[in-house]
């Protein structure tokens, strides 16, 4: 599929603007009715899903060019968080706005029309296999002192993939370290690839670098196979999305992929993790886009669109809708609810229509100001619940919240689900 | 023609560099026009109208005024845009600048005692409703649904909807207005004009309600309405509508002793019309609309099953249509509408339900049992109360047009017009969706009733040239049929009309014969002496050859 | 010291080859969607060589590239890295050029510039691996050419070029003006800093088209690509030889290979 394959879809967009809001059913206030950070921050219609559909058509019809100077800004100032996709599909069964926007990115990248600030990031990635401008040699430093299997030489059932952010963000090392402790204590046969762990490629894919993504996906799949692993567990929602959705979609490589919160939910249910302490804390949970609405399992589909009753468009056979219905929302909440003392308050925008943290799809790296503004909006929403802490299950969200709070001179606590599990044991 | 640099610089100094753009991609995102393919002589059969020369996103009334004054000084036309949905969103011709009002998005006040809200143009109905409900109030939502501008619906185009029976028509709900006229002068109408607040439309300040609104509003050609006060009504439900269900089949559980969705259905169109009179007379009902028939009387039952079930998709349609229970349901629902009864107290609802029973008894009608299933009851309540699923109107293909529409007294339902509309659509079945009677519309177009009507929906595939051509043909044929009866043409396609479209010229000329348009055109010439306020058919119409209007 | 570095924009050679397809009819290689163009790695090394000379001796570095729809961010990286000037020879006809046409276009542009001391090219491009443009360009400009350099030392009106040969290195002294093609051993291109990239985005670039250069591509094309086909699929089987000690494993490996007739 390329951008040209989406022409019919753009012709059929009814330009309703649902993509700019959370599903209207769920609007509870003026303040938190908005769903799309991109248009809220940039104002012009082009910075919305429907605007980018229009742009795709204008590009295909050669009314504009990839090389127009202002185009990358419009195309890439967007987290691809997918709230637009969910809201669109409340009423439409035949449109895939997120897919169109991704393909628009691929088109620009093919032509070298990327933001120039990508260059150091991508150059370093090519050399060091990470998205953090860090050295490959330092990738396993977080695991120093942990007696973990090295899956470059040993074999294990479960491979723990911690991802670039957690490998190099020292302040967050406690998250993978806790994951290891919990897994080992529960008797799980787990190991890591250590220094040879590669970037998952998921963020690259969203940034438009699908060609580079494929290389990392192939390498990772090979490494897991060589390690004899049957299950990949990850502490990062970005990686989860890459493994759960993109790998099978792009490489037809099904793996048993679990986010750490899904694994913990299972362990808690089996009684393998017990809590000894009470944590009297009012919290609110932020759904990471890549674990929530975009973390739906990939279901292969091959078929066609046909018309019935004259012109009504249907897919034959039934096509997976990917409308956020099957994302991972309950596992992290169930883990949190099982911790004694915790009081969980929901933000107005939650689950499939959660507001994005601002970090995704290269926005944090390319446009930090927009990224932090988006995080700030979420922080306001968290405050509105009366919670003392904002809890998430993705290090990218957590880092962005921490930095945005720092910039605001704010002191809301930010935790990973694992932090609270560790504290309560 | 790009703007002169000097003009651009002046506009930029008004809104600031971050709120003005000439970036081609952005300009095309505003030139994209839903249904543009229906006027191929202007769109070339594609999705784009002329792109604006620049787009500005002003932040408030002062900036709007400054822009309009500059436009007057330089003879530059401007086109105004709120949520951008509808056939009049893109600039109707080239050489214009576009004002996107999305930054003017505040609810300035909700006056609980006097039951009104003051809003800016980019407040959408869902937002105002959510805030009003917290205060025990509710707001009219246009038939286009929760995602449309409260202000634009009230002032600038049709704006009617399913709830007019209780909420009244939007034009009757406008109180004071702040209006940047096409000359750049600011007029504050009603009580606001005398500095007495927003509560009243008619004096002690000037009243321009009739002028600004006219029959269908100025659709972008009347300057810029920057704030309005809009009347609110009682909401006896919870402060926040509780939402359940899996996307997209959301539902709301409202207190059963105060909220009831019903589907009154009738054995004949005469009894259907009689029942409407009875409803008017007995003053029951919060929302009354023939809603789901937009999918066609042949398909509405099956469609309703699909959209209210998260596991179903449109590909299930054929299977459902072959199920005997769906076929039975289809027959039961053929002449039905959706009536939402809301009791201010449980006794009130009890009374309304009794009245409905009595009406059904008298007319030989029935309440379709499907709506009593708990999940369906909750789905329909949410659907009708919030109008949050309104884009389902276009779920079949993405393209629609209304054709053989009617606005009249309830007798119209029994006049044979429904069958005539159905026959018209059937003639093109295959090239457009084959769905049967698609006459969707309000049971009451104004508070308490008196007028009702429908839009004859038809679905065409915007990606299929033959289907597009069929939509044009059926729409033209519908208009010709109506012209023979002295009735005006369909509303939606008119929105697309431009002087360059020969057929549209003819339509527009027919329209300008109508007295209200004559007056509005004359007023426009007075209020907009430089002709800089953009607009569509209403303003673009040529005087007719017999000199009846100018 | 006036240096000109010729760089080619190629699809990222480091991206996955799995999704790469050959369009036999169009005789084109189709890389997966979302594969960015980059400066060909040997060309980046050529630029690094020029910048190293500039670091020590000062001078002026002009970067030049030929093509259709050249990606600005890709080539502006050269400016961010320290080049002084970027000249794009860009035209819709500059598509699928052969080495002779490319060299001719470059020569035309270099003649317009007039004086120069040293021209640097990558030893070969990452997409075609032809390795002909550098020497072709030298021939067209009537200057000496040294290929596959792994080191360049600037002297008085001459350079000493270290070349890799099969059994070691050779050092060649060549009079300026000259052309040198560069190999990767000279070093990777330095990382540009973010602020340099942002500054580079604002720097003017020169764009020259076929008409301005007086070029008619059709008359320059000397090669005709007869056919392009994907490599035959090879079935590779991997057999792991395991044993208690590495010595025994080695023995097993040798025996297995002999058994298979491989040694």
Residues 6+ apart with CB under 8 A from A155: A149, A191, A227, A228, A229
- Comparing CB atoms, the residue among C33, C71, C80 nearest residue A106 is C33
Residues A208-243: pLDDT tens digits? 999 999 999 999 999 999 999 999 999 999 999 999
Touch between C and B (at least 3 CB pairs under 8 Å): no
- Nearest-CA distance A141 → chain B (Å): 42
CATH 3.40.50 fits B396-496, yes or no: no
Contact B71/B77 with Cβ under 8 angstroms? yes
CB B171 within 8 A of CB B452: no
**Is A199 contained in some domain?**
yes
The residue-averaged pLDDT of B80-106 equals 90
The 3-state DSSP class for residue A218 equals helix
Chain C residues touching A106 at Cβ < 8 A: 33-34
pLDDT at B215 over 70: no
Chain A residue numbers touching C35 (CB-CB < 8 A): 109-110, 209-212
Check: CATH 3.90.320.10 for B5-100? no
Residue A192 DSSP code: E
To test the contact with chain A by mutation, choose from C20, C29, C33, C72 the residue with the greatest count of A C-beta atoms within 10 A, namely C33
A219 touches C: beta carbon within 8 Å:
no
pLDDT tens by residue, A313-338: 999 999 999 999 999 999 999 999 99
Q: Is A76 on the interface with C (CB under 8 A)?
A: no
Is the per-residue pLDDT at B107 higher than 70? yes
Please tell me the total count of domains within chain A: 1
pLDDT at A48 over 80: yes
Q: Provide the shortest C-alpha distance from residue A421 to chain B (in Å).
A: 29
Touching partners of C (3+ C-beta pairs < 8 Å)? A
Nearest alpha carbon to residue A132 among A401, A379, A415, A399: A399
- C114 within a domain of the structure (yes/no): yes
Whether residue C261 sits in one domain with residue C210: no
Which chain A residue shows the shortest CA-CA distance from B18? A42
Per-residue pLDDT averaged across A361-379, rounded?
97
Nearest Cα of chain A lies from the Cα of B304 at a distance, in angstroms, of 12
**In this structure, is residue A76 part of a structural domain?**
no
pLDDT at res. B453 = 92
* B443 pLDDT more than 80: yes
Nearest CB to A119 within list C19, C37, C192: C192
Where are any strands of DSSP class E within A223-294?
231-234, 256-259, 281-285
Q: How far apart are CA B170 and CA B142, in angstroms?
A: 8
* pLDDT grade for B543, boundaries at 50, 70 and 90: very low
C245 and C148 fall within a common domain: no
Interchain contact C240–A (C-beta under 8 A): no
| Contact assignment for C12 to A109 by CB distance below 8 Å | no
Architecture of domain B107-234: 2-Layer Sandwich (3.30)
Q: Does the distance separating the beta carbons of B25 and A74 come in below 8 Å?
A: yes
Q: What letter does residue A242 receive in the DSSP assignment?
A: I
The yes-or-no verdict on residue B429 having pLDDT over 50 is: yes
Whole-angstrom Cα Rg for chain B:
23
Query: What's the confidence (pLDDT) of residue B527?
Result: 87
Residue A236 lies in a domain: yes
Q: Are residues C94 and C179 in the same domain?
A: yes
What's the pLDDT tens digit per position in C115-158? Answer: 999 999 999 999 999 999 999 999 999 999 999 999 999 999 99
User: Would the CB atoms of A212 and C16 count as touching at under 8 Å?
Assistant: yes
Which residues lie below 8 Å from residue A178, measured CB to CB, with a gap of 6+? A418, A419, A421, A422
The verdict on a CB contact (< 8 Å) between B315 and A318 is yes
User: Are C149 and C246 in the same domain?
Assistant: no
What are the chain A neighbours of C14 within 8 Å (beta carbons)? 126, 212, 215
Beta bridge partners of C66: C89
pLDDT of residue B511: 56
Query: Taking all residues of chain B, what is their mean pLDDT, rounded to a whole number?
Result: 90
Q: How far apart are CA A160 and CA A243, in angstroms?
A: 12
Whether the per-residue pLDDT at B39 is higher than 90: the answer is: no
> Does residue A72 belong to any structural domain of this protein?
no
Q: Which CATH number is C187's domain given?
A: 3.40.50.620
Distance from CA of C14 to the nearest CA of A (A): 7
Of A29, A57, A316, the CB nearest to B130: A29
Q: Judge whether B423 and B481 are in contact, CB under 8 Å.
A: no
Do A331 and A233 contact (CB within 8 A), yes or no? no
Are residues C147 and C259 both part of a single domain?
no
3-state secondary structure of C39: strand
CB contact under 8 A, A91 and B130: no
B365 near B265, Cβ under 8 Å?
yes
If asked whether residues C156 and C242 sit together in one domain, one would say: no
CATH number at residue A141: 3.40.50
**pLDDT (0 to 100) of residue B515:** 60
Give A8's contacts in chain B (Cβ within 8 Å): 463
Torsion angle of the four alpha carbons B422, B427, B431, B435, in this order, in degrees rounded to the nearest 10: 20
Distance from the Cα of A185 to chain B's closest Cα (Å) equals 36
Give me the pLDDT at residue B549, please: 34
Are C34 and A111 within 8 A, CB to CB?
Answer: no
CA distance B265 to B250: 25
| pLDDT (0 to 100) of residue B523 | 80
Cis peptide before A315 (omega within 30 of 0): no
**Does A158 map to a domain?**
yes
Give the whole-angstrom CA distance, residue B323 versus residue A238: 44
Cα separation, C102 vs C124, in Å, equals 13
C33 contacts A2? CB cut-off 8 A: yes
Please, what is the average pLDDT of chain A? Answer: 96
Chain A partners within 8 Å of C19 (Cβ): 211, 214
Asked whether the beta carbons of residue A312 and residue B123 sit closer than 8 angstroms, the reply is no
Touching subunits for chain B (3+ Cβ pairs under 8 A): A
In degrees and rounded to multiples of 5, residue B106 shows phi and psi of -100, 150
Regarding whether C117 and C34 lie in a shared domain, the answer is yes
Domain that holds residue C34: 2-220
Q: Per-residue pLDDT tens for B321-348?
A: 999 999 999 999 999 999 999 999 999 9
A7, A8, A14: best to mutate for the B interface, most B CBs within 10 A: A14
pLDDT of the residue at B497: 53
Q: Taking residues A67-74, what's their average pLDDT?
A: 95
CB contact under 8 A, A205 and C72: no
Subunit contact C194:A214, Cβ cutoff 8 A? no
Residue C179 lies in a domain: yes
Reply yes or no on whether the pLDDT at B77 is more than 70. Answer: yes
Q: What does the pLDDT average to over A330-354?
A: 98
Q: How far apart, in whole angstroms, are the C-alpha atoms of residue A385 and residue A397?
A: 18
Task: Render pLDDT for C102-115 as a digit per residue (tens, 0 to 9).
Answer: 999 999 999 999 99
Q: Is residue C227 part of a domain?
A: no
* Greater model confidence, B515 or C198: C198
Residue A244 placed within a domain: yes
What pLDDT is recorded for position B207?
75
Q: Please tell me if residue C80 touches chain A, with a CB cutoff of 8 Å.
A: yes
State pLDDT tens for residues A167-207: 999 999 999 999 999 999 999 999 999 999 999 999 999 99
Of A45-49, A162-166, A413-417, B448-452, minimum mean pLDDT range: B448-452
Cα diameter, chain A:
68
| A214 contacts in chain C (CB < 8 Å) | 15-16, 18-19, 32
Q: What is the mean pLDDT of residues B422-449?
A: 94
Residues C199 and C258 in one domain: no
Closest-CA residue in chain B for A317? Answer: B315
Alpha carbon of B125: minimum distance to chain A alpha carbons (Å): 9
Q: Of the ranges A142-151, A212-221, B404-413, B502-511, which one carries the lowest mean pLDDT score?
A: B502-511
* Local confidence band at B155 (pLDDT 50, 70, 90 cut-offs): confident
In a domain, A286, yes or no: no
Within a domain: C242: yes
Cα separation, A356 vs B377, whole angstroms = 33
Complex confidence, ipTM: 0.96
The contacts found for A168-175 with CB under 8 angstroms, 24 or more apart, are A168/A130, A168/A132, A168/A134, A168/A138, A168/A139, A169/A132, A169/A395, A169/A399, A170/A142, A171/A402, A172/A395, A172/A398, A172/A399, A172/A416, A173/A142, A174/A418, A174/A419, A174/A422, A175/A235, A175/A395, A175/A416, A175/A418, A175/A419
Shared domain for C109 and C209, answered yes or no, is yes
Q: Which of A45, A54, A312 faces B100 most closely, judged by CB atoms?
A: A45
Statement to judge: residues C201 and C263 lie in one domain:
no
Considering the domain architecture, whether residues C71 and C18 belong to the same structural domain is answered as yes
pLDDT of residue B507: 57
CB contact under 8 A, A211 and C74: no
- Could you give the percent of chain A with pLDDT greater than 90? 98
Q: Which domain holds residue A229?
A: 119-269
Q: Are residues C145 and C190 in the same domain?
A: yes
Please, are residues B55 and B84 in contact by the beta-carbon 8 Å criterion? no
Domain ranges within chain B, ordered by starting residue: 5-100, 107-234, 244-393, 396-496, 499-540
* C11 interface with A at CB cutoff 8 Å: yes
Q: Are A124 and C74 in contact (CB < 8 Å)?
A: no
The closest alpha carbon to B473, from B394, B403, B396, B400, belongs to B403
| Complete DSSP assignment for B331-358 | HHHTTB-EEEEE-SSHHHHHHHHHHHHH
Give percent of chain B above pLDDT 90. Answer: 71
Out of A45, A57, A92, whose CB is closest to B26?
A45
- Contact A314/B389, CB-based, under 8 Å? no
Interface test with B, best of A12, A24, A49, A100 (most B CBs within 10 A): A24
The number of distinct structural domains making up chain C is: 2
Closest CB to A352: pick one of B130, B247, B252: B247
The span from the CA of B462 to the CA of B23, in Å, is 27
Reported as a single tens digit per residue, the pLDDT across B469-527 is 999 888 888 878 877 777 766 655 555 554 444 555 555 555 555 666 667 777 888 88
Task: Write down the pLDDT at residue B509.
Answer: 54
Which are the contacts of A153, defined by CB distance < 8 A and separation ≥ 6? none
């Amino acid at each position: 599929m390329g951008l040209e394959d989406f022409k019919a879809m753009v012709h059929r967009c009814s330009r309703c603007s649902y993509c700019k809001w959370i599903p209207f059913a769920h609007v509870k206030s003026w303040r938190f009715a908005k769903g799309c950070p991109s248009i809220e921050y940039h104002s012009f219609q082009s910075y919305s899903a429907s605007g980018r559909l229009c742009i795709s058509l204008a590009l295909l019809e050669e009314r504009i060019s990839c090389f127009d100077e202002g185009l990358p800004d419009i195309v890439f100032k967007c987290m691809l968080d997918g709230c637009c996709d969910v809201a669109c599909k409340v009423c439409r069964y035949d449109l895939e706005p997120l897919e169109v926007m991704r393909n628009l990115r691929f088109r620009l990248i093919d032509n070298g029309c990327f933001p120039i600030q990508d260059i150091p990031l991508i150059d370093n990635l090519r050399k060091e296999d990470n998205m953090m401008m860090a050295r490959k040699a330092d990738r396993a430093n977080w695991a120093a002192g942990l007696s973990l299997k090295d899956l470059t030489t040993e074999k294990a059932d479960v491979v723990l993939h911690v991802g670039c952010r957690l490998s190099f963000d020292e302040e967050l090392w406690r998250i993978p370290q806790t994951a290891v402790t919990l897994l080992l204590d529960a008797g799980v046969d787990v190991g890591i690839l250590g220094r040879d762990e590669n970037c998952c490629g998921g963020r690259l894919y969203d940034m438009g670098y699908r060609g580079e993504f494929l290389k990392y996906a192939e390498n990772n799949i090979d490494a897991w196979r060589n390690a004899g692993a049957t299950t990949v567990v990850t502490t990062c929602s970005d990686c989860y999305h890459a493994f759960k959705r993109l790998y099978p979609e792009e490489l037809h490589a099904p793996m048993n992929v679990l986010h750490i919160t899904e694994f913990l939910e299972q362990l808690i249910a089996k009684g393998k993790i017990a809590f000894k302490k009470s944590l009297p804390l009012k919290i609110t949970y932020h759904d990471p886009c890549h674990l929530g609405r975009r973390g739906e399992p990939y279901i292969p589909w091959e078929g066609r669109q046909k018309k019935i009753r004259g012109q009504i468009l249907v897919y034959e056979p039934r096509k997976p809708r990917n409308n956020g219905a099957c994302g991972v929302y309950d596992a992290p909440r169930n883990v949190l609810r099982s911790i004694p003392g915790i009081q969980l308050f929901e933000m107005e925008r939650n689950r499939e229509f959660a507001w994005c943290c601002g970090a995704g799809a290269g926005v944090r790296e390319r446009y930090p100001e927009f990224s932090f503004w988006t995080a700030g909006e979420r922080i306001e929403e968290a405050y509105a619940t009366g919670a003392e802490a904002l809890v998430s299950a993705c290090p990218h969200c957590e880092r962005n919240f921490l930095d945005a709070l720092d910039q605001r001179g704010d002191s809301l606590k930010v935790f990973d689900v694992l932090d609270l599990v560790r504290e309560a044991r | 023609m790009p703007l002169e640099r000097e003009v651009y610089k002046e506009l930029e100094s008004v809104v600031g560099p971050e709120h003005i753009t000439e970036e081609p991609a952005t300009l095309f995102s505003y030139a994209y026009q839903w249904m543009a393919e229906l006027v191929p002589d202007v769109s070339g059969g594609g999705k784009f109208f002329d792109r604006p020369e620049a787009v500005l996103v002003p932040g408030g009334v002062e900036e709007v005024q400054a822009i309009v004054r500059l436009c007057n000084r330089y003879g530059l036309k401007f086109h105004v845009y709120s949520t951008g949905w509808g056939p009049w969103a893109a600039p109707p011709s080239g050489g214009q600048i576009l004002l996107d009002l999305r930054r003017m998005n505040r609810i300035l006040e909700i006056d609980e005692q006097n039951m009104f809200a003051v809003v800016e143009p980019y407040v959408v109905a869902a937002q105002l409703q959510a805030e009003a409900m917290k205060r025990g109030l509710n707001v009219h939502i246009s038939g286009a649904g929760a995602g449309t501008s409260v202000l634009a619906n009230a002032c600038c185009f049709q704006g009617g909807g399913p709830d007019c029976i209780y909420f009244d028509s939007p034009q009757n709900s406008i109180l004071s207005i702040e209006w940047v006229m096409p000359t750049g002068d600011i007029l504050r109408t009603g009580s606001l004009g005398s500095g007495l607040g927003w509560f009243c439309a008619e004096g002690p300040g000037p009243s321009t309600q009739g002028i600004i609104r006219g029959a269908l509003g100025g659709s972008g050609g009347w300057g810029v309405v920057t704030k309005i006060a809009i009347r609110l009504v009682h909401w006896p439900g919870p402060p926040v509508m509780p939402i359940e269900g899996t996307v997209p089949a959301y539902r709301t559980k409202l207190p059963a002793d105060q909220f009831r969705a019903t589907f009154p259905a009738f054995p004949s169109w005469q009894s259907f019309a009689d029942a409407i009179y009875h409803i008017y007379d007995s003053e029951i009902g919060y929302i009354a609309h023939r809603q789901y028939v937009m999918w066609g009387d042949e398909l509405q039952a099956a469609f309703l099953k699909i959209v209210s079930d998260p596991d179903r998709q449109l590909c299930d349609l054929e299977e459902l249509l072959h199920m005997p229970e769906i076929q039975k349901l289809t027959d039961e629902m053929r002449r039905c509408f959706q009536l939402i009864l809301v009791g201010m107290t449980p006794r009130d609802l009890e009374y309304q339900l009794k009245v409905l029973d009595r009406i059904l008894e008298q007319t030989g009608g029935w309440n379709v049992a499907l709506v009593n299933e708990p999940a369906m009851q909750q789905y329909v309540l949410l659907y009708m109360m919030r109008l949050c699923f309104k884009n389902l109107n276009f779920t079949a293909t993405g393209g629609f047009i209304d054709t053989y529409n009617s606005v009249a007294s309830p007798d119209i339902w029994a006049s044979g017009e429904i069958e005539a509309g159905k026959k018209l659509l059937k003639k093109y079945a295959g090239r457009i969706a084959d769905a049967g009677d698609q006459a969707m519309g309000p049971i009451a177009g104004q508070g308490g009733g008196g007028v009702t009507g429908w839009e004859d929906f038809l679905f065409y595939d915007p990606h299929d040239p033959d289907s597009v051509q069929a939509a044009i043909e059926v729409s033209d044929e519908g208009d010709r049929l109506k012209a023979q009866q002295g009735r005006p043409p369909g509303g939606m396609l008119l929105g697309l009309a431009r002087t360059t479209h020969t057929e549209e010229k003819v339509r527009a000329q027919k329209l300008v014969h109508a007295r209200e348009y004559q007056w509005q055109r004359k007023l426009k010439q007075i209020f907009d002496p430089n002709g800089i306020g953009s607009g569509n058919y209403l303003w673009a119409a040529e005087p007719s050859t017999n000199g009846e209007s100018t | 010291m006036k240096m000109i570095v010729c760089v080619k924009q190629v699809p990222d050679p480091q991206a996955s080859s799995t999704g790469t397809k050959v369009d036999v009819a169009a005789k084109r290689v189709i890389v997966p969607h979302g594969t960015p163009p980059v400066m060909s790695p040997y060309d980046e090394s050529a630029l690094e060589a020029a910048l190293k000379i500039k670091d020590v001796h000062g001078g002026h570095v002009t970067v030049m590239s030929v093509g259709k729809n050249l990606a600005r961010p890709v080539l502006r990286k050269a400016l961010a890295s320290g080049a002084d000037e970027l000249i794009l020879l860009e035209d819709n006809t500059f598509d699928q050029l052969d080495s002779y046409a490319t060299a001719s276009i470059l020569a035309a542009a270099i003649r317009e510039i007039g004086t120069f001391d040293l021209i640097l090219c990558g030893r070969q491009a990452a997409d075609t691996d032809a390795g002909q443009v550098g020497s072709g360009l030298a021939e067209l400009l009537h200057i000496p050419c040294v290929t596959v350099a792994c080191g360049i030392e600037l002297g008085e009106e001459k350079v000493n070029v270290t070349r890799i040969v099969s059994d070691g290195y050779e050092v060649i002294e060549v009079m300026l003006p000259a052309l040198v093609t560069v190999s990767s051993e000279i070093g990777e291109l330095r990382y540009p800093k973010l602020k340099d990239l942002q500054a580079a985005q604002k720097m003017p670039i020169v764009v020259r088209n076929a008409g301005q250069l007086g070029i008619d591509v059709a008359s320059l094309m000397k090669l005709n690509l007869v056919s392009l086909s994907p490599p035959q699929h090879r079935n590779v089987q991997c057999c792991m030889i395991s044993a208690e000690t590495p010595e025994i494993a080695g023995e097993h490996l040798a025996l297995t290979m002999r058994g298979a007739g491989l040694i």
